[in-house]
Each structure stands twice: as C-alpha cells, then as structure tokens.
Structure 1
C-alpha cells in the first residue's frame, strides 16, 4: 500500500497508467546509510512504462528497475534480511506532516522506519531472459 505517494519520475514514465504496486515488484536491494540517515530500496517489475525515456528507445528490454531513496530516516528497526518472495510493502503518512511510515514485512523478517521524504533516485531497463 502506498497511500497516495506520488513519485514524479514514475508518474512521468507511466502517465495515466497506474505505477506498479510495490507488493507485485521484486524487492532486490536494500541499502542503509547511517551517515546520511537514508534507506534505499530497489524494485524490479515487468510492468513496462507507457512513456519510456528516449535513451531506452534503441534497447531491447522487458524489465524496469527503480530505486526509491528515503531520507531523514528515524526509528529504524531491522530484523533479518529481506529475501522472501512473500512480503508486504507499506508506505503511509507518518505522525508528523509530510513524513512517511515505511515497512516491509514477511513472516520472519522486517524493516520499518519513519522518513522525512522519498524520491525515485534512478531507473534502469534491461533484458531479462531470452528474447
């Protein structure tokens, strides 16, 4: 669930088409940066955007990867490493105006925190598997 979180880079790529639900994307990357108090998640989807970047036009691809960086992270709680396919991603409004509550939960592992802001830090397309 992403209660009306709008990432402009994804909105530009997908237009009026709904952006991928994070719960349907592969969660392949987690980086915690204690110096910058940030957490970055990497997601992968085969739900391709309707408005790809011009530099992707000459590439064969069937997969989009995107990274979401959460900044101003506080109240970080981590249990285990998130590798299970069965997990739930939840991003909702936090207690303070403009803040976010973020959690990724599975039956045995979890990460949860509050963030001041979030953004899609970069996107990449590639060809996964045979053509």
Structure 2
C-alpha cells in the first residue's frame, strides 16, 4: 500500500497508527462488477484497530475484515480464478488524477487493472479460531 491510499474509513479505526497493508492481509474475496466497472477485494487482518466502532464492543473478536472497492476500472486482465496462499498484492498510486494500478499475482494466476479511485466500502469484526 502506498501512503496515498490512506483510506479515511480505515484511518478512523486506526487513528495515527499504521493501517493494515493489503499485501500482508489475507485476500478472501474478489468481486468484479462489469456494470459499474468496479472490482472489490475483501481482506482480513488480525491487526486490530485502536478505535473500534462502538457496536463492536459487546462481542469478542480477533479479526477485522475490510473491503476495498476500486471504481472506474479499465484494462482488466485476469488469468486463472482460484485463490492461493502465495500471492502478492500491489496497489500503486493513490486517489489522484493519475489513478491507481492494482495487481494481485501468484505463480499461476493474476488479476491486474487500473482504477480511478478506491474506498473502503465495508468493515466488520469477528472471532476466528480460539482466543
């Protein structure tokens, strides 16, 4: 993740601390919406926020899931469709006039595209495994 991708939705949860880096999070969801020319990735991390939402306080959790929606997608290229553990996530650029270049690569599969903007569209917490 570059510093330009300082998503306000995550910044509100993490304050001045470091945001989760998508390249170190588990990518568990990919949704391509050709009607809205968008791609949404779902990530999960055990890097918990310093400022959780009040509604999260009444339940135990050890994992945060967040979804990044990329809009104005162009030049979409895909190879393969299975999720793999060994992959890299690169988000270059930021929400600027130049836009973003996004790529997820593994040994046999990849997805790459350009986008005009990105936003964190949803967050939730849950308990994964035992505490």
TM-score when scaled to structure 1? 0.93
Partners of 1:82 and 1:110 within 8 A in 2: no
> Are residues 1:114 and 2:110 paired?
no
Q: Secondary structure at the match of 2:107?
A: coil
CA distance in 2, matches of 1:70, 1:106: 20
Match of 2:59 in 1: 59
Matches within 5 A, 1:83-98: 83-93=83-93, 97-98=97-98
Task: Give structure 1 regions of 4+ aligned residues with deviation exceeding 6 angstroms.
Answer: none
- Matched residue pairs, number? 130
RMSD, aligned CA: 1.5
Partners of 2:74 and 2:113 within 8 A in 1: yes
- Is the alpha carbon distance of 1:3 and 1:105 closer, same or farther for their aligned partners in structure 2, counting shifts above 3 Å? farther
Cα deviation, 1:87-118, whole Å, max 9, x if unaligned, reads: 11111128x82411111111111000000110
Extract unaligned runs of 5+ from structure 1.
none
Shift of 1:23: 1.5
Match of 2:38 in 1: 38
Partners of 1:46 and 1:62 within 8 A in 2: yes
CA distance in 1, matches of 2:23, 2:99: 21
TM-score when scaled to structure 2? 0.93
